[in-house]
Structures are given as structure tokens and as C-alpha cells.
Amino acid sequence: MNKVTLDIRADADHAMLWRDDVLYLLDQRVLPAEEAYIRCDDARHTAAAITAMVVRGAPAIGITAAYGVALAGRDAFARRPSDWRAAMVDDLAALRASRPTAVNLFWALDRMAELISRLGEGDPSAALLTEARAIHAEDRAANLAMGAYGAALIDGPTAVITHCNTGGLATGGHGTALGVIRSAYAAGRIDQVFADETRPWLQGNRLTAWELARDRIPVKVMADGAAAARMAAGGIGWAIVGSDRIAANGDVANKIGTYGLAVAARHHGVKFMVAAPTSTIDLAMASGAGIPIEERAADEVLGCAGQRVGPAGVGAWNPVFDVTPAQLVDAIVTERGVILSPNAEKIAAHMADQPSGGL
């Protein structure tokens, strides 16, 4: 993966760029200290960037993977024009193996695979790129719709808490939970955001605060463990988070610490909102108990910014996600509308009927 500087302002709504048949990803590992892009010339580079968390956030991972398929198709046709589908197999497998929890990855790859099955024998490059761009554009449109639906639930002005990063950096633009916050702030319904720092990668501190500060939305960063005390102090109307996978019964997998935030919110009478596109809802997953939870290296917890903090010889448990039971969720917001007090019946109806409001 090659690091480059592009001639544009590096902002959250340009986290993924396609230029001159190459994919560029804003390197979220080094923000906010450095604003640099990683050049992905092929599918293997793209898969490696996803695994290394150059790009993160379920919708953004799916979009990136779709562009990776476009790169794979272009290269496969150049190598083996008479058998390009077979030439793509290894690249598609690498993309599918890049992260295990975010269902948007598999949703996007399945959508691209369905297109591949319908294409003729000529060069697939243009069709695959068009589909990847469509996935990108549809996600941004979905986020704008989500923002409006979610903002309408908030009686304000009030303060809110958010966890991890769910903004333009994590999506095709505008954001999921942070998109709700952006829309609600513009409507005068939110006057203060508290962003959990989100250990161990500090996405809340490095990314969410960076996005909100650029939008001139008042934000204060706090340690993840401070959220309950902040709720007890009063003035918090909602906790608003995103999701990497929502099970058919409404259980929600999201960044580690979300479950604890939901428990604290219920105890303190703070409403809990999950904002995610319908591509995040996995109807094949009956409950959160079956969602695969990625675990990463112990060094991520035992160190900070490359500096070892924990003592030698000590291990760490480092799950990246946890599962919040549906019973702790007051509302799931998608681009189709709002699911209040979600359960399996409401999730199924939402996915089948494409409602435009609350259930």
C-alpha cells in the first residue's frame, strides 16, 4: 500500500475516491495528525487496507470491497480475457476474508457477484465500476434519509452521546449515527455531543471529534468509562450509535463498549438509537448469539500510539465488537424509516414492506 497526497481537501465525505482507474482511501489510522491517502492498485491491496483498518466502518468497508471487485475484474480480464471469472476467484476470496463481522462487506460482495453472473464474455470493467459507484452513491443517499428520520425522534435541544465513528469516514458520506447527529444539529435539536474516545483505536477521539469539529458542531471527548457518570449528571437525551450487523431479532453488533453504553442508558432513562442502512440487517442471523466477533492482537490494548503501556508478560482480551440485545434498543433507524422497540416481527416487516415511518 502506497501513501500519497492528493490535490483535494481531505474531509470525511471524501474518504474513498476513484481516480484514473485507481482507488484511494483516506488513511484513518493516522488521522487527525496526518491527512494522507493510501493508493490501492488492485484487489489484494484493497483487501489488505480493509484488514489493516485504513478504512473502517461497516458501510465504508462494503463500498471499498465493491471497488476492490472492480479492480479485480479489470485485472482478471487483462490477464485472461477468455476466462476472467475464474481469474477473479482468489481476489474475491481475499476481499471476503478481510474482516469477519461487518455484514455490509458480504452484502456488497454478493451484489457484485450477482452482477458478474449476469455479464457477458466481454470486458467487465465498466459494468463493475458502475455498480461500485452505485453502491457508493446509494449509501450516501441512504445516510441523508437516515439523518432526517433519526433527527425527527429527538426532542431538543439536548446533548447526546455517541460511540466510535459513524460519520462520513465510516460510510459513503454524511454518516449513519453521526449523520443523524449532523442533521439534528442543523435542525436545532442537538446542542452538544459527547464522543466516547473508543479504545483501543480511539476512533471517537481521532475521527468523530475531527469530523464534528470540521462541521463546527460542539463536541467534547470523554473516556469510554465516563459515559455512565455523564448520563447521571443529566442533560443527555439520547445515545446514538451505528452498527456493523443487526440480527433478525434486532440484536445489534457494534464497536466494543456499545453494550455497556446501552445498559447505562437504560438505567439512567436515556434513549438508545441505532442508525444503520438496511444492508446491515442480516435476516439470516437469527440473533446476536450467532454473530462472529472479531478479535484482534493484544498489542492494540496493551499499547497506545505504538508505545507499549502494559507490563511485559501480560496478555489482553481484545474483541472488536459486542452485541447489544434488542431489548435495550429504543429505535433502529434505517433509510426506510424507524423501528421502535425492535423485535423479529418488526424487523421482518421493515425489510419486506419498505415503510417510510415508525413501526
Query: Measured between alpha carbons, how far is 146 from 175 in angstroms, rounded to an integer?
Result: 9
What residues pair up with 275 in beta bridges, in sequence order?
Answer: 333
Q: What is the Cα Rg of the chain in Å?
A: 20
Selected catalytic residue, list 196, 244, 251, 282: 244
Query: Measured between alpha carbons, how far is 283 from 192 in angstroms, rounded to an integer?
Result: 35
> Any idea what the Cα angle at residue 242 is, between residues 152 and 217, rounded to 5°?
60
42 is catalytic: no
Task: Count other Cβ atoms within 10 Å, centred on residue 194.
Answer: 22
What is the maximal distance between C-alpha atoms in the chain? 67
Query: Measured between alpha carbons, how far is 184 from 215 in angstroms, rounded to an integer?
Result: 13
What is the DSSP code (8-state) at residue 7? S
Backbone phi, psi, residue 35, to 5° = -115, 95
- Helices and strands in the chain, H and E counts: 12, 17
Query: Quick check: 281 and 351 in contact, CB under 8 A?
Result: yes
Backbone phi, psi, residue 271, to 5° = -70, 150
C-alpha cell at 83: 476466462
Q: Which residues contact 135 (CB under 8 A, 6 or more apart)?
A: 62, 63, 66, 108, 111, 172
Residues forming the active site: 244
